[in-house]
Amino acid sequence: MNAIEERIAEVLSAQFKVERAAIEPDVTFAALRFDSLVLIELGLILDTEFGVEIDDGELTNEMTISDAAELVAAKGASL
């Protein structure tokens, strides 16, 4: 995992009680079985964590942890 993926994994584990072992770069959010509000909650946390703006709907169930990390990186994430 790269540094951004690691940070996302930390947030998922700490805030959303996902088992750390279940989080791999190629795992989709759908596979983590979140309800519809979690992606909004996650976006609101990641935008603070990385200092970027993530709009409602930019994170989708089909995305992998790696896709989310790429989205955050493309917005100029600061680590």
* Residue 2 near other proteins by CB under 8 A: no
Q: 39 is written with which tokens?
A: 């992606």
Residue from 56, 62, 74, 78 binding other proteins (CB under 8 A): 56
User: Which of residues 41 and 67 has its CB atom nearest to other proteins in the complex?
Assistant: 41
Least distance (Å) between residue 39 CB and other proteins: 8
48 binds other proteins (CB under 8 A): yes
Q: Quote the CA–CA distance of 49 and 14 in Å, as a whole number.
A: 13
Q: In angstroms, rounded to a whole number, what is the distance separating the alpha carbons of residues 60 and 32?
A: 12
Separation CA 79–CA 57 (nearest Å): 23
Q: If binding is defined by CB under 8 A, does position 17 make contact with other proteins? A: no
